[in-house]
Structure formats: structure tokens, C-alpha cells
Amino acid sequence: MSGTIIQEWTDAQVCLSAEQIIDVKYRVYRKAKIHFLEIHDAGDVPIHTLKLPDGMRLDRSSYEVLLRYILLDVVVA
């Protein structure tokens, strides 16, 4: 990955259901004019990389909300 780091790797615990909590880490970076949210599991295995819509700049708490929805779609499905 060559680009500009928007947010360094951040550890997060994401509650997917009452019985399932997943430990992940994520980072946000920009490559050219495109922003990406990259998600890995706690063992550093890639889970998903999401291309963020144009102009989408969020704060840390907003990335974590988006992270939960992505994991619900990718991991649980």
C-alpha cells in the first residue's frame, strides 16, 4: 500500500450479537483521491477493504460504526 495514512491501525472490539464479539484492527488511508477502510482480524489476517464514497471523511467513532456494519455483512453472512 502506498498512500497517505488518515488513521493508523486501531484495535477495536466489535459486538456482532449478544453472543459474538470479534477483535479486529482497522486503518483508514487515501490512495490518490480514493479513501479506504482496511480491516484485519486480531491475527493480522485481512478481512475486508472498503472503498469509501467520494468526500467521505469521518471521525474515529464514525469509522467504528461503519466497521460494525461491514463486519455484520462480511463476517456473519
Q: What are the strands of the beta sheet with 46-51, ordered from one edge?
A: 4-15, 21-31, 34-41, 46-51
For the chain, the structural domain boundaries read 4-74
Q: What is the pLDDT of residue 27?
A: 94
Spatial contact of 49 and 28, defined as CB atoms under 8 Å apart: no
What is the enclosing helix (H) or strand (E) of 35?
strand 34-41
Q: What is the pLDDT of residue 59?
A: 67
Q: What is the pLDDT of residue 57?
A: 66
pLDDT digits (tens, 9 = 90+) for 17-48: 888 889 999 999 989 888 899 999 999 999 99
Q: What is the pLDDT of residue 70?
A: 85
Predicted TM-score of the model (pTM): 0.81
- Using pLDDT thresholds of 50, 70 and 90, give the confidence band for residue 71: confident
